[in-house]
Structure 1
Amino acid sequence: MPVKKRASLGRSTSAARRMAATRAAEDSEDTRIRLDGQRARQAASRAAEDSEDTRIRLDGQRASQAASRAAEDSEDTRIRLDGQRASQAASRAAESPERRQGRRVYDRARHAASRAAESPEQRQGRREEDRARHAATRGAEDPIQRRTRSEDQRRRQAASRAAQWTFMEGEAFRYDPANNYDTHPQLYIGQMSDVCPYCNALKWHAETRGMCCSGGKVKLPELQPPPEPLKSLIGPTSFEVLRTVNGRICATFREACQLHGLLEHDQQWDATMSEAAAAQSPARLRNLFALILAVCGPSSPKQLWESYKESLTEDILRNARRQNPGMNLD
């Protein structure tokens, strides 16, 4: 790497050696006091900056960092990243719950501001870089790493789903006026102002589609037969004609009936399962699946099972892997 020029302090000067000796002689309290002082001075300096000073400082930092990164070889990059990971892990391990919460709030605000300031071209470029980086990472995985990542992802997803309803467990029996239930993303408190376009039932906003008029609750009026001679003219003349819809011969009579609108399709049950899989636990999802099979009569239950079998059996597979570590359940 090129030698950096320093105005008054270099790694080989006596001042640098004295500073290194002073740092080595510090105890944890001295280090804390010194770092607190540095943070206070830096905060005061940043607070005194105007927008132009901030821009100049950040541009200088970016240019210096880019030059340093460009001069690195692969070994230097690896050492730097390993050091950053170790430093970050140690810092996270030493955090208190309040400090961790504050850091996460600050990170969310900073990311939101950064995303809001992006132009469409910058957003597209960032997403393409993310996709390329993830594809390269996934491509370099071996089967064991891929299985470990999938299991970690399932655990995080299961924990996230369980956490969404943790604070609501039994709340109907011990309602607490101090809790702000309206802020929970899975709850809606308000007027039933939406009207179902099929059965005119009043619904809450964003209520699951089809649940108000499922299971035969709404029946279409019976169609009257057409009069003669029209009835004889429109009647089919062969089984092939029965399976022909808009000039195309269907493979089965069921497919032809669905295209004619004479049979219900499973789109509403697929949408119901999709919404439930994003928020419900596997056990509750299985209860919903059983209810759909028993009451609603989907036309293709096997296809519905194949579409959501991973979400339906997530906890069962996890328990089986925990009890039988050597068993291959993939």
Structure 2
Amino acid sequence: MRTQNALSRSQKSAETHEMRLSIDRERHAKSRASETFTQRETRLSSQRNRTDVARSCESVEGRQARLESDRERHADSRASETYTQREARLCLQRSRASFSQSIEDDEERETRSRRDRSQHALSRSLETDEQREESRAAARQRYHELLGDASTHLSQERDRIQEIRGTWSDEQRAAQVEQDRLRRNVNQLSTSDEASTVYYIEEQPWLNKEGSGFMYNVAINYAAYGNIGALEEVCAHCQARKWKGEPNGMCCASAISMNKPTCEADTSPIWTLVWSGDCKVCCIM
């Protein structure tokens, strides 16, 4: 049957062949538009199975010939499509890929990734030096086109912003200048920017140490000022070394005037030790 169809189609003219393909496309489009979700999934699953069986049996030469034919067919099709058709095709392709990847589990994802890597490695190992150079040239061209598109977009954005700002009043322009200045100051003080942080630490040294514990400044590197004075004072009661100006009573309780309690009933050992007048006991307490 297939031989007869192939012989019959080989005898047809190009116009008849194109007409038959157009009729087939319309018939397939109507059939797929009326199919349910289950019917569509069944058809796609059967189609994938047939494709996998056919490709598993093909030789390296047959696969290379098929890929070459597919590339030529796709190139001809994409060269003739309009900008709208191209965007619609890419959008549909992204939607299908996103939906397919969203429903696959970890094992299926790993299988797909491994299959993609194998296909890419095999495809690149079979290409000739000319094909490899053409592929690299096409990649470079796409890269430069993307850069050109980005540059064009930025230029258009600058022109649009300049046009908008050209319609501003003096008050709006002054407000924008003030807002830009505040934004620059915030960015310079951002702790995520190491360079700007170091710069502002150097510009704002820790000069006023008196009472600075209640006025913390994030722009000062307090760790760089570890020397906060020498322990020059000595407590007369417990001989603890203190900073100059440190209030009495911080090291021991002997600086406070204490009298023995008048209540003689409380003779617990702890009170006996506290009120014994021993400075060492007071320091421990």
Which structure 2 residues correspond to residues 162-177 of structure 1 after superposition, within 5 A?
A: 162-169=148-155, 171-175=157-161
User: CA–CA distance in 1 between the matches of 2:63 and 2:129?
Assistant: 27
Q: Determine the structure 2 residue equivalent to 1:51.
A: 37
Percent identity for Structure 1 against Structure 2: 25
User: CA–CA distance in 1 between the matches of 2:14 and 2:111?
Assistant: 46
1:216 aligns with 2:199: yes
Aligned residue pair count: 194
Which structure 2 residues correspond to residues 223-242 of structure 1 after superposition, within 5 A?
A: 223-228=225-230
Give yes or no for contact 1:11–1:17 (8 Å, CA) kept in 2: yes
Matched to 2:3, the amino acid is R
User: CA–CA distance in 2 between the matches of 1:37 and 1:105?
Assistant: 26
User: CA–CA distance in 1 between the matches of 2:154 and 2:76?
Assistant: 35
Deviations 1:197-229 (A, max 9, x none): xx99379xxx9x529946724542562514446
**CA distance 1:105–1:170, change in 2 (3 Å):** closer
Which structure 2 residues correspond to residues 5-24 of structure 1 after superposition, within 5 A?
A: 9-12=1-4, 17-21=7-11, 24=12
SS of corresponding position for 1:169: helix
Q: Which has the higher helix share?
A: 2
Pick from 32, 35, 40 the counterpart of residue 21 of structure 2: 35
User: CA–CA distance in 2 between the matches of 1:168 and 1:31?
Assistant: 48
Cα RMSD (Å): 4.3
Q: CA deviation at 1:90?
A: 1.9
Q: Determine the structure 1 residue equivalent to 2:69.
A: 83
**CA distance 1:79–1:201, change in 2 (3 Å):** same
User: CA–CA distance in 2 between the matches of 1:20 and 1:202?
Assistant: 72
- Structure 1 portions without partners, runs of 5+: 1-8, 178-191, 231-330
Deviations 1:147-202 (A, max 9, x none): 8766665554344234223122153344478xxxxxxxxxxxxxx9xxx9xx9937
User: CA–CA distance in 1 between the matches of 2:93 and 2:117?
Assistant: 22
1:25 aligns with 2:17: no
Q: Determine the structure 1 residue equivalent to 2:85.
A: 99
User: CA–CA distance in 2 between the matches of 1:229 and 1:147?
Assistant: 76
Matched to 2:106, the amino acid is P
User: CA–CA distance in 1 between the matches of 2:40 and 2:92?
Assistant: 19
**CA distance 1:211–1:107, change in 2 (3 Å):** farther
Q: CA deviation at 1:35?
A: 2.8
User: CA–CA distance in 2 between the matches of 1:79 and 1:229?
Assistant: 89
Matched to 1:210, the amino acid is D
Compute the TM-score of the two structures, normalised by the length of structure 1: 0.46
SS of corresponding position for 2:157: coil
Bigger radius of gyration: 2
Give yes or no for contact 1:201–1:212 (8 Å, CA) kept in 2: no
Q: Determine the structure 2 residue equivalent to 1:301.
A: none
SS of corresponding position for 2:42: helix
Pick from 183, 186, 189 the counterpart of residue 201 of structure 1: 186
Matched to 1:11, the amino acid is T
- Structure 2 portions without partners, runs of 5+: 165-178, 205-219, 233-285
Matched to 1:106, the amino acid is L
Of structures 1 and 2, the one scoring higher in RCO (CA 8 A, sep 6+) is 1
**CA distance 1:211–1:135, change in 2 (3 Å):** farther
Matched to 1:107, the amino acid is Q
